[in-house]
A and B are shown apart, each in its own frame.
Chain A
Amino acid sequence: MKKHFILWLLTVACMQATAQNHTTLTANQKSILFTQATIHNGRGEVLTAAALGFKNGKITYIGTDTKLPVNDYDTVINCGSKHIYPGFIGMNTQMGLVEIEAVRATIDAGEVGDINPSARSVIAYNTDNKSIATVRCDGVLMCQVVPQRGLVSGQSSVMKMDGWNWEDAAYKIDEGIIIHWPRMMLFNAWWASSPEEQQQRTERQLLQLKNLFDEARAYYMSKGSGNINLDAMCGLFNHSKKLYVEAYSVREIIAAVAFGNSYGVSLVIVGGIESCMVADLLKKHNIPVIIKGTHTLPATDDTDIRATYKLPALLQQAGITYCISVEGFWQVRTLGYQAGQAVAYGITAEEALTAITYTPAKILGIDASCGSLEKGKDATLFISEGDALDMRTNKISWAFIAGKPVDLDNVQKQLYRKYLDKFGLHDN
């Protein structure tokens, strides 16, 4: 039953680019069983010499049985020593919203004004953005796409790193409201106003937020209509939306938690560089933290010089739900390595993996179908030659989003091939 056209010639690009021998997969291979793999399930477990199979986009087999259901699958691939990982989930990104940072015409990341709950990132997500095809080659297969700017920036959505258009790529639409908590520490920098002015600004913004939430809740309770900003807020009160609050210092975090609790919304702290100092509070209210990258500088001269590398371990020890993210778009390709960075400073490799797969899915409320390698869940996964959290060994052979093979070619590889050819060089 072999058809002669190939819908997706998987890894053609990779084959040319990396000159390795892969099994060529075709689209009519609707079910695949990978054997002899090291499987990292994203929830802390590692299976060696294991097999994973999927059909119709869902994982149908995962295990180490000696007798494998090979006949149930179109294709069986022996992975050798390769690793299978759940696709990484990039939290708090601008994937698809920005093409070139310095070119204004290519930026759709933040609206004008302070209060924009109605703005939706999902419709600005450009599936043909050139960065999308690059981050896939480092294992990032899903992203939360988040608007920036203002006090209330708008609504985030979860997007697949593949698709013909945004409708096609959307995984969970308008799942959160994004807030940048008013700055509560005083800055001393060329761009900063006087401490008094800074304080006044903070107070003004806090009042703005309070008014918005008071009115939105009243609007929700009274089943109001006709105000699209308040319409967008309603989901917070029936918990169909989460409230993502960017807050860094202890004071900001405490204030945000108190605020979130007073309105009974599901709160997520984004940033949280001092979250380890209010661990009890976060744990008590079961509030997760999205760490904005480990590859960032410590906040002050006095801060432990490796504080940002150690933060995941501190949250892990404190029992706080946390995930690791990389803000931006092209930069999101480093997600795996920013998680890997924390491994040298106190968490295990599997905990680091959880922080970019299962925990993000849990925070996003998509963990029933996504974020880990478990029977019945989406086959959103990739196969790497080596440890995918280490740039030294992360080399991706195949990737699938909900069972659909992902094109691992991109403009960078195309240019690479072009100039290999020009100079008569070869990929090693």
Chain B
Amino acid sequence: MKTKQALLLLLICKATWAQETFPVNGITDKRHTTYAFTHATIYTDYKTVLTDATLIIQDGIIKAVGNNVQIPAGAVISNTKGKYIYPSFIEPYGDYGVGLLKTIAAEANNENQFLTNTKGAYAWNQAIRAEVNAVNQFASDKTQAESLLKAGFGTICSFNKDGIVRGTACAVLLAPLKSQEVIIKQKAAAGLSFSKGSSSQDYPGSLMGCIALLRQTYLDAQWYAGVKSQTNLSLGAFNEQQNLPQIFDCSNWQNQLRALNIGTEFNKVYILKGNGSEYQNIEAFKKQKPAFILPLTYPKPYDLSNPWDANLASLAEMKAWEMAPANAALLSKAGFDFAFTMDGLKEKTDFIKNIRKAIQHGLSHTDALKALTHTPSQLLQLQNWVGSLNPGMFANFIITSKPVFDKESSIIENWCKGIPTIINQTTKDVRGYYSLKINGANAGQLQITGEPTAYKILVLQDTNKISATFSESFNQYLLSYESKQIPKDAIKLNGYFTDSLKMFSGSGTNALGDLLTWQATFDSSYTNLKTDTVKPDTVNIGNLWYPNMAYGNLQQPQTQNLVFRNATVWTNEAEGILQNADVHINNGKIVAVGKNLNAAGAAVIDATGKHITAGIIDEHSHIAISGDVNECTQAVTSEVRIGDVIDETDINIYRQLSGGVTSSHLLHGSCNPVGGQTQLIKLRWGATANDLKFDAKGSTWPGFIKFALGENVKQSNAGDNARQRYPQTRMGVEQVYVDAFTRARQYENEWKLFNSKKSNQMPRKDLELDALSEILNAKRFITCHSYIQSEINMLMHVADSFNFTVNTFTHILEGYKVADKMKAHGAGASSFSDWWAYKYEVYEAIPYNGKLMHDMGLTVAYNSDDAEMARRLNQEAAKAVKFGGVSEEEALKFVTLNPAKLLHVDKYVGSLKAGKDADIVIWSNNPLSVYARALQTYVDGTCYFDEATDARKREALKTERARLTAKMLEAKGRGEKTQKVTLGVHVLQGCMGVDNH
């Protein structure tokens, strides 16, 4: 404690010295005035309140605070009776005084930029800016400071908010002093984000690329710590700033959870700055209990006055509007620490209003004050300097007219480092009724009501109510009105107010310019109206749905113990299709399949006339992915991971459950030869991203990676400007692979040498090469976008030469031409049933492809690559019956067992067999018929889709929309600013055309 105080003093001295180095033009005017604020209600910290207390400050520092404080002789005394004193607020995530570094101009239009444009010994990537220290750019700025002081702030942590690694932020005071005097901590925090900001470099081009780059940066920095042969100022700075508070700027709650995943990986604790939507998944945050920095940007209500526009507003947006102001209250109830930030607020005056709104939605005054003072000081480790009012700390406080969160409260003064900023001069409350006398004669009653900041003035003369103009400046009052007394006259008065007498007195003139004297004495008939305290829990909000949108679950569904009786059961096992058979599921697994099962304890479902199959597995899907499906910027991006960017709020998860899909293989796009790592998920609608992963519940899945060949990777259909990235031909594609795997082999050898102690030089851990090395060692498997026979053949040759197998060729529309070679190589096929003619390379695609490959002994799947088609993959399977006459039993396997095999998960899913996961679908008809509907879909024995439940969800949706529509119309009626309804379009297409999926 003592050392910290010493440090504090040192800093103050330093600030003073800084000032002292400046020559004085004129006479030195150093003052050491002591100020005493007496009789105030003082919050020494967010939870300690003293009444009728005194605060003593000198030289910018608090000297004493308490009820029995001796006022030193020579102190300037300010009677603050009836007023409130609080520690001033702390902005943990600002950019005050930090002009953004000049962004580096991008190359001429349409030129690729593969490397950084930052000159010097910095990181390879322009978005890694650890070397930036905001303090180096900081300059105090009175105009900027004033608006923050007005909002009640005294301290701010200023960031250069640009890039993925943003360097350090400085903590500064907002006092109107020189820059040298206000910096209290040069490096107060380090900044991170998933946004590349002003970087003109191509990479990273996607959210998953940003995540991969950050991950690699951690590894590079660890490696750099042991490297002497080169200098990298960015990595060096990054290492140095690791013990600072790490503030991670996230654009929403999903990215916050993604940041926590990275934190877990590298053992980092992040303070998460979000967008105020944390309430949408509080449960998911409970494991790690991060601290938050919450913006107070609430969405505006939608203008729903046109019924047809109203239709387009989504329930997700409507609920977000309603629930955003409750975010802080909900987090506080769940026990999270958080600070508030002005970040993102267009109108700074909305800050306090929005805090009041949070209080109306259940946040306590204490917690609100905590979030403005205590928590930010703790998070930024400034608690010994600011955030409370204790001797030795900075004299940073605000004086308010009423309890700070009261509606009519206003900040009178904001003192920062002992320097006052007067915010509201007319804060002296002179409201009341006064007997007005002019030249000694009764001139009626002067009524001053309304608010001290905006008085309402009336002069009552008999039955006449005359409105008057009234203003004040430094206890000089002006009053003018049209007198109705006879003779009528224009009265203009000037005077002053004497507190002890509660009396105005002064002089003035009439219309003729005759001199008048006047006085107005307080009339006891006036009674002050009680002011409204902003009370918590006065607003009702709807329930949280999982996810918080249309078709979200009101309660999370549970696994069931069920027996389906008397169905047609497509086992996909040696038993084939069983008539009048039963399926028993319990604890998420299939217990038994057969006739007349003894399933004691299980609820019985009569499935007479129904068909039961294993859940559909989509080998090639791009649903439920946030922030771009492709990392297009390099030919090899094996380091990026779809698993980092799963979007659990994609409605297509629910839509596809309604088509019997239970697992989807989420793939990186096809715009580069080596794309990213894929993610197999189960469609557990309502669960959090991490819990959607196939292996979240004890199963294993080896991990796959997307490769791609042909027109997309050589950018044939990407426009005339896409002519620079290697490769541009199929020749180049082969060489990209040979080069990549050669590098991976060399990398493996470096590690072998190091691990066997034959080399002292620890290789740099390279996530791109790690993934390729996993392929070489059969720990990661390829699914390769492919069309033309020549390229298919080529990749198998490359694989053979490096001794690995291409696990799956996806699309593989000319697979029928080289099915024998694929068989010999050991590759499987995942194709479309009948697509063709959308590109030149699919001109010889034929709908008999599946049949030919199947008959050649390949494992054949049909996939969707399309959010719409995925809802009816059963029908696509049926096309194998139409085109080539594959048997119905085998055709169904194209979308169930065969993709399970291709994905190495057939021991868990793909058929109906005791012990396997209870991922099953109940169909109304033969599942290969166009007339079949999925009636129920179970994942892990849990019903995630059911026609009856779906009907109930639609009813709930209708009711909830009606309630929110009424509430929004009411908000509009109250005069709230609204926003126009727009239809958010999520473009989800497949390999059709040129969109590189």
Contact = CB atoms under 8 A, between A and B. Distances in A.
B53 interface: no
Interface string B861-902: 000000111001001001101101111100000000000000
A301 B992 contact: no
A186 B980 CA distance: 8
Contacts of B711: 102
Contact of B879 (A186, A391, A412): A391
B475 interface: no
A416 B655 contact: no
Contacts of A390: 878, 929-931
Nearest to B950: A305
A423 B985 contact: no
A297 interface: yes
A186 B840 CA distance: 35
B982 A187 contact: yes
B717 A427 contact: no
Interface string B961-977: 10000000000000000
Interface string A315-358: 00000000000000110011001001101110000000000000
Contact of B717 (A102, A305, A428): A102
B838 A100 contact: yes
B984 A423 contact: no
Interface stretch (B465-473, B525-533, B816-824): B816-824
Contact of A103 (B840, B932, B950, B992): B840
Contacts of B882: 391-392, 394-395
B613 to A, nearest CB: 14
Contacts of B716: 102
B240 interface: no
Contacts of A340: 930-931
A280 interface: no
Interface in B307-327: 308-309, 311-312, 314-316
A16 interface: no
B852 A423 contact: yes
B836 A427 contact: no
A340 B961 CA distance: 33
Contacts of B869: 295
A300 B308 CA distance: 13
A162 to B, nearest CB: 19
A102 B840 contact: yes
Contacts of A345: 933
B834 interface: yes
- The interface centre, meaning the residue of A99, A101, A345 with most chain B CB atoms within 10 A of its CB, is A101
A251 interface: yes
A102 B984 contact: no
Contacts of A391: 875, 878-879, 881-882, 930
B985 A187 contact: yes
A297 B885 contact: no
Q: In terms of DSSP, what is the predominant structure of the interface of chain B?
A: loop
A305 B931 contact: no
Contact of A302 (B314, B835, B887, B992): B314
Contacts of A334: 834
B838 A423 contact: no
A195 B879 contact: no
B938 interface: no
Contacts of A101: 837-839, 992-993
A301 B840 contact: no
A375 interface: no
B984 to A, nearest CB: 5
A250 B312 CA distance: 11
Nearest to B842: A100
B647 to A, nearest CB: 12
Interface stretch (B66-74, B257-265, B795-803, B843-851): B843-851
Interface string B913-936: 000000000001110111111000
A425 B652 CA distance: 39
Interface in A222-255: 249-251
A301 B549 contact: yes
A263 interface: no
B878 A423 contact: no
Interface in B518-552: 549-551
A188 B957 CA distance: 22
B856 interface: yes
Nearest to B819: A423
A214 interface: no
Interface in A161-191: 185-189
Contacts of A299: 983
Interface in B296-351: 308-309, 311-312, 314-316
User: What size tier do the contact residues of chain A reach?
Assistant: 35 or more
B837 A301 contact: no
A210 interface: no
A1 interface: no
Given A305-B658, A305-B950, A185 B309 contact: yes
Contacts of A412: 836, 846-848
A187 B549 CA distance: 19
A18 interface: yes
Interface in A123-138: 130-131
Given A195-B980, A392-B878, A329 B837 contact: yes
B184 to A, nearest CB: 42
B837 A186 contact: no
Contact of B982 (A98, A186, A249, A416): A186
Contacts of B836: 330, 412
B573 interface: no
Interface string A374-403: 000000000000000111101100000000
B651 interface: yes
- The interface centre, meaning the residue of B836, B867, B987 with most chain A CB atoms within 10 A of its CB, is B836
A130 B655 CA distance: 34
Given A296-B868, A428-B885, A344 B930 contact: yes
Nearest to B855: A425
Contacts of A389: 930
A102 B931 contact: no
Nearest to B961: A302
Given A186-B980, A188-B984, A297 B655 contact: yes
A300 B867 contact: no
Given A330-B836, A340-B930, A425 B308 contact: no
A189 B312 CA distance: 14
A337 B982 CA distance: 33
A306 interface: yes
B502 interface: no
Contacts of B875: 337, 391
A419 B817 contact: yes
Nearest to A341: B930
B177 interface: no
Contact of A100 (B840, B856, B879): B840
A99 B837 CA distance: 7
A415 interface: yes
Contacts of A304: 954
Contact of A305 (B551, B840, B932): B551
B981 interface: yes
Nearest to B820: A423
Contacts of A131: 837
A188 B983 contact: yes
B669 to A, nearest CB: 16
3 nearest A-B pairs in the assembled complex, by CB-CB distance: A428-B885, A188-B982, A340-B930
Given A102-B838, A391-B882, 9 more contacts: A100-B838, A102-B839, A185-B982, A249-B308, A413-B846, A416-B848, A419-B816, A423-B819, A428-B885
Interface of A: 18, 98-103, 130-131, 185-189, 192, 195, 249-251, 295-302, 304-306, 329-330, 333-334, 337, 340-341, 343-345, 389-392, 394-395, 411-413, 415-416, 419-420, 423, 425, 427-428
19 contacts: A100-B837, A100-B843, A101-B838, A102-B717, A102-B993, A185-B982, A187-B983, A296-B868, A300-B983, A301-B651, A304-B954, A305-B655, A334-B834, A389-B930, A390-B930, A392-B888, A413-B848, A428-B851, A428-B884
